[in-house]
Amino acid sequence: MKEGNDYADEQTSPATTTVSNMWRIPLTSKMIRTSIVIAYSLSVLYNVSFFSQMTMLPYIVKRLTISDIDFGLLQTFFGVMQMLGGPLYGYLIRRIGIRSALILCYSCTIASSLMTFASMARLPFDKSSLYMSMLPSIFMHGQQGHQTLLSALTTPGKERTNAFSRMGITFGLGFIFTPLLTTISRKLFTDEAPLITSAIISAIAIYIVVVYLRLEKPNDDKEEMKNEDESEKKRKVTIEVIVNIARRPGVAMTFAKKCALITPMLLTISITQIYMIKTFQLTPEMNSFIQIFVGVIIMFNNGFVVVWLRQRFNEEFLLTMGATTFLIGNVLHTQWYKLWIVFCTIPFTCLGMSIVGTVADSLLTSLVHVDEQVIKSPLEPADI
């Protein structure tokens, strides 16, 4: 086995990691632990499944002639389910374990897809069936679950920070693969086929968790793992614990900055698809092209731009830079009279989200204990 410079950022000591637990990155000599690869793969699968549902929703609304007001209420209901479910999902992670929590997340994604599919086939159409399909979203917190999984698989410090920063790449891959799979599904079957595809992908994720996911620690120290498990059982999620975490220097301010910058953009994103469909008569094919464009930008930002910026500037400067790019993106949003302006807006929006999300998560992670990640995560803005 080669020396440490042949390992990826998520490396462990050669003395404590066997070759069978490592996976070689294609076209490079870098090695990465198999468990980390599985975690990233699960994140990509969930993102594709989740995005397949979300990108279908505006076309479902148009097909069923649902008013903008009803669509807004539907989105609000989804947001409420996400906010209520975040803390509850974090609590369940601690009670039933991350493997069972991930299976619950993927199962709810399957249920939501199938219920949405059933609501479209129901005649006469009843709006309540769409609301019912949103109920499983209370436990659809893939980002929270996968971040917790990475926390369990990595050691604090550079390894965990690098592992978290790569999550943005899985997010971008989700945007790229989603339109490809949904387009193929539509061409081969029906317009509703992407919902079934979404359910199948989540089922594959469940299979991977059950058969392949192993929660070995990087140092494989069984005695240390036992002590950590016992100390974790003693920890209880209470209001007092949450308040104490928020009172730590920098936690509340960093959390507030992240919410203040990202939440308005998430609210805008929730209506942009339906706006573009009505204003530009956006076809599913054109929508797919825009999603791929977004995915490429996100991957480029997280893989190169954010890494380059973090090597040269401190966190406070980067948060200010993120706020500035968000401001430019919001101003461009007000000028969406031509489709080409949309493509000018996307780079600023994606860069702002990449900078703020990565830097804020890194700061918050360094300010709280690893066992408190499941408390911190659900309090942040809901997943897109």
Residues with Cβ within 8 Å of residue 169, at least 6 apart in sequence: 40, 298, 299, 302, 303
Is residue 331 one of the residues assigned to a domain? Answer: yes
Is residue 294 one of the residues assigned to a domain? Answer: yes
Report the CATH number at residue 164.
1.20.1250.20
Is residue 38 one of the residues assigned to a domain? Answer: yes
Block residue for tokens 């040269």: 312
Distance between CA 285 and CA 301 in Å, rounded?
25
The pLDDT-based confidence of 244 (bands split at 50, 70, 90) is low
Block residue for tokens 């007092």: 240
Highest averaged pLDDT of the listed ranges 37-51, 149-163, 230-244: 37-51
Count of C-beta atoms within a 10 Å radius of residue 188:
9
Between 263 and 86, the higher pLDDT residue = 86
Cα 283 off chain centre by:
26
Between 232 and 307, the higher pLDDT residue = 307
Q: Say if residue 161's pLDDT is above 60.
A: yes
365 lies in which domain range? Answer: 4-379
pLDDT of residue 12: 43
Distance between CA 219 and CA 156 in Å, rounded?
12
Distance between CA 132 and CA 134 in Å, rounded?
5
Is residue 384 one of the residues assigned to a domain? Answer: no
Structural domains counted in the chain? 1
Is residue 258 one of the residues assigned to a domain? Answer: yes
What are φ and ψ of residue 334, in 5° steps?
A: -75, -10
The pTM of the full predicted model, rounded to 2 decimals, is 0.74
Is residue 359 one of the residues assigned to a domain? Answer: yes
Q: Say if residue 216's pLDDT is above 80.
A: no
The predicted-structure confidence for 341-364, as pLDDT tens digits, reads as follows: 989 999 998 898 888 877 777 777
